A and B are shown apart, each in its own frame.
Chain A
């Protein structure tokens, strides 16, 4: 018999909620919660997310290839702080306090996070929201030392990017500290979700982060299908994967080009943008939308691929392969470009592991995790693909992970088209009849998207939590930039390419 892991012990001691399907949810007492904190701090478990509802906090944890949700009732609105011992939880806890008024006891950082004092109410998702308070100046962390100066940037930036504030403290050209302030794109999606039917909720989920609309739509659909106890038709699984790989490719091409552009190497940017555009045009023609918004729905997919579409996609993939090989060679041989990317923005593997950083951020710093392989869902359980990892952790490594992943996605597209099963890609949705919960984790282009969903007996959304991979990657950007020059920040930021909207929700 193998030794019991921390997760086994926690699950045995808690009470498993029968309403939840997909991955288990276990109600724990304060002791169990504390034991979980210990296991997180010791690195035995990874924290995937921390969220709440009135009177309860939930933590999604990862133990190798298993995910579980641990829930703690806190009728008095207080719970032992996870962030006090496991730093990745700090911003989740600050958001919990802002949205629900749930307080993490002994938390070290109690500053507001999403609440900028502009909502005309406090604790908007609590049972009884409080009246709003005038906004107070946000206290940035103090940096002491001689010859230091601050550079405030944002929320409106010089480029075409999302809103966020970056507070640099620099010593000459060198960044001594970067502190990021987010929440500007907070739209209150968790609140809007309540009471929606599945179609309305799926639409919202598809607009959490536009660049990952397919990944969110699949994650939401899988959570809903788990809750309803149904399985999407086989053809839907394969079409979803096809769209997910097209989305991954389009974003990776966009990112690779944009990173090079931030090092003033615009020829890569122009060529990569052409590859991206060719995929978007294919998606528009065959899936009805350039970003494939609305194509994946609970129960399957809403748009089928015509017989001719597969053949055309194979032709496009072959063409892209040839052109991308040339661009890879160009990147690898441009000494002036590599001079900017190699050794820049180092993220230590230890930090990537502690924060359970997903996607290229984690994999470029040695964290060998990909939900498609490690929490397999159809059709990836029947597909062979390589998950590239590197340990250098610099901008260059994050570029190379994207290059290798793009190559793998092009191969996957060929495999998927070859094996695409026939049949109707959409199945009808039953009404649950009683409260039902589902959890799903789906690999998007920047890491794993997590969706937890509770449906009422009428099939409407009671609670929904969506967690973007960026939530665990943003804090690492602050660590990676330290000691770099201010002028390299755009390069580092683009190599992370965290979602603002996905983080702020």
Chain B
């Protein structure tokens, strides 16, 4: 353990230095500014799997790995909808999960936003039309933003959250 910790102290961080990756750099800067403008330095995200194949969950987990390190932008995952500003919902909404999703939405205090992540979350994807599927997330609760992808890559998720932030700014300017 001592060697690993010493290495960690002497080696540069893995978290991708922003100027090295143009897309991420631009995203990160804008995301940072947009988040601050709207919510200070904090945006709390509650993730809800409404019936996904778990592919989206794997990539949402990756957002927290040292390469993407979502928390450096003040974005963090919280354990309860009551602590959340954003619901990040994946999957087609199965009929068996419909009520749970509605109750989670109702338990989230306003102001709140819903981000639907993944192709299934748009319209049910390859599971649309099944007796067991209610449809996309929008069929059950109001969706503010959809992030496409099957599953969306971590960078696509970051890009999506950025777009959400920009919509906050636009709304503010229009007030």
Chain A positions near chain B (C-beta within 8 angstroms): 114, 116, 118-121, 124, 129, 155-156, 158-163, 183-189, 191-192, 200, 203-204, 207-211, 213, 254, 267, 270-271, 273-274, 276-277, 280, 284, 290-291, 293, 326-327, 330, 333-334, 499-501
Contact = CB atoms under 8 A, between A and B. Distances in A.
Nearest to A196: B126
Contacts of B130: 187-189, 191-192
The 5 closest A-B pairs by CB, nearest first: A210-B55, A188-B132, A158-B79, A188-B130, A273-B65
B1 A187 contact: no
A501 B129 contact: no
Contact of B4 (A156, A186, A271): A271
5 contacts: A187-B127, A192-B126, A210-B53, A210-B57, A501-B52
B4 A326 contact: yes
A208 B55 CA distance: 10
A494 to B, nearest CB: 12
Given A119-B132, A184-B100, A276 B54 contact: no
Contacts of A333: 1
Indicate the size class of the contact surface on chain B.
35 or more
B80 A158 contact: yes
Q: B54, B99, B132 — which one has the most chain A CB atoms within 10 A of its CB?
A: B132
Given A186-B94, A326-B4, A501 B131 contact: no
Given A187-B132, A274-B65, A326-B4, A155 B54 contact: no
Contact of A155 (B65, B95, B100): B100
B49 interface: yes
B56 interface: yes
Contacts of B60: 160
A160 B151 CA distance: 15
Given A291-B58, A326-B3, A159 B79 contact: yes
Nearest to B119: A207
B132 A124 contact: yes
Interface in B117-175: 125-127, 129-133, 150-151, 153
Contacts of A334: 1
Contact of A211 (B54, B65, B80): B54
Q: B51, B66, B67 — which one has the most chain A CB atoms within 10 A of its CB?
A: B51
B49 A210 contact: no
Contacts of B133: 187-188
A147 B14 CA distance: 50
A121 B59 CA distance: 34
B97 interface: yes
Q: B56, B60, B127 — which one has the most chain A CB atoms within 10 A of its CB?
A: B127
B1 A163 contact: no
Nearest to A294: B150
Contacts of B129: 192
A291 B151 contact: yes
B1 A121 contact: no
A211 B52 CA distance: 11
A273 B133 CA distance: 33
A293 B150 contact: yes
B24 interface: no
B154 to A, nearest CB: 9
A186 B55 contact: no
A185 B94 contact: yes
Given A160-B49, A277-B65, A284-B153, 17 more contacts: A118-B95, A118-B96, A118-B98, A155-B97, A155-B100, A160-B60, A162-B52, A162-B54, A163-B97, A185-B97, A186-B132, A187-B132, A189-B127, A210-B54, A267-B1, A273-B64, A274-B65
Contacts of B75: none
Given A124-B132, A499-B54, A501-B52, A187 B66 contact: no
A161 B49 contact: yes
B95 A210 contact: no
Contacts of B125: 207
A331 to B, nearest CB: 10
A280 B92 CA distance: 24
A288 to B, nearest CB: 12
Nearest to A291: B55
B42 interface: no
